[in-house]
Structure 1
């Protein structure tokens, strides 16, 4: 049986991005996860774990490390297609689709359309400025993973709501953004944490 003609691969065979540096390299900070677990009370931790963002904590608790290898395989054998929100990869000789629909079903995260996704409008309030000051972060900057870990060391007397906010930010910086530990996250998205329901449901 003849195989159908397929689009070219995104990467030339043998020139795929190295897995250690390209996939989950900055999203496996065991110190951040340990600090998160220690800083929150049991009920606060369970609230975060049962939220929509709790899927990341559950994956971490399951030692879901093989996921990065699977994603790396999918990206290495990715086909160059025109659809923006679909990823097609070769598994053996067969093309397989992974789209936002599959991502939504797998994670339970909100994938609905929203305008200006990368830059939501969030007003800087006195409450937000005070929270950023407690974290030791400039109000015009997003926190780094290092900021979050440092804040966990001094949040014992914070209000319950502020500790939960800090927990959400830990998930955001450590699992969603996954940037280098000293690199600030996007302030426009981090600021959403002042409204936990909006933050949790943001696509």
Structure 2
């Protein structure tokens, strides 16, 4: 489908050719098909932002001193079963985010922003379930 994609100036929609005809697939259709919340991100209060600045990054808790982690390395960590349940759930969420829901690169590197998003798994799951 993406190999037959047409160029467009609109940010939140994709046009592609199907049976010789142009077809639109927008963020609205994506939300309907997947059931995922595709609205605006909830605004963060200034108090939460100040608290986040003071917090330590979550990356070292998951990956130690490793600077770059990939989805394949996370899946290998899941197979080893050497960490506790919460960290394993975090690894699984990262693998899904980076490979299926929000792939950011072809070699599927784990984004530090996504690692911080899964730090609070309850808030992460609430965000996915909102709508």
For normalisation by structure 2, the TM-score amounts to: 0.65
2:30 pairs, out of 103, 123, 132, with 103
Q: Determine if contact 1:142/1:187 at 8 Å carries over to the other structure.
A: no
The residue number in structure 2 matching 1:86 is: 13
Corresponding residue for residue 98 of structure 2: 173
Give the alignment of 1:15-26 within 5 angstroms: none
- Higher relative contact order (CA closer than 8 Å, sequence separation 6+): 1
Paired position in structure 2 for 1:195: 120
Structure 2 regions of 5+ residues with no counterpart?
A: 43-48
Q: Distance in 2 between matches of 1:196 and 1:87?
A: 31
Q: Structure 1 residues 112 and 186 mapped into 2: Cα distance closer, same or farther (>3 Å)?
A: same
Query: Which TM-score applies when normalising by structure 1?
Result: 0.46
**Does the 8 Å CA contact 2:118/2:124 hold for their aligned counterparts?**
yes
Q: Are the counterparts in 2 of residues 79 and 88 from structure 1 also a CA contact under 8 Å?
A: yes
8 Å contact 2:16–2:22 — kept in the other structure?
yes
Q: 1:131 to 1:189 in 2, by over 3 A?
A: same
Secondary structure at 2:14 match in 1: strand
1:194 match: secondary structure: coil
Q: Distance in 1 between matches of 2:54 and 2:74?
A: 20
CA–CA separation in structure 2 for the residues paired with 1:168 and 1:87 = 26
CA RMSD between the two structures: 3.2
**Which residue is 1:57 aligned to?**
none
What's 2:69 paired with? 143
Relative to structure 1, is the Cα distance of residues 188 and 171 closer, same or farther in structure 2, using a 3 angstrom cutoff? same
Query: Post-superposition, which runs of at least 4 consecutive aligned residues in structure 1 deviate over 6 A?
Result: none
Q: 1:98 Cα shift?
A: 0.5
Counting matched residue pairs gives 118
Q: Deviations over 1:131-160 (max 9, x none)?
A: 32xx4454xx4531233133224434x332
**1:128 equivalent among 48, 52, 58:** 58
Highest CA radius of gyration, 1 or 2? 1
Given that 2:57 and 2:116 are in contact with CA atoms closer than 8 Å, whether structure 1 keeps it comes out as: no
The CA deviation at 1:192 is 0.9
Change (3 A) 1:89 1:146: closer
Name stretches of at least 5 consecutive residues in structure 1 with no aligned partner: 1-70, 116-120
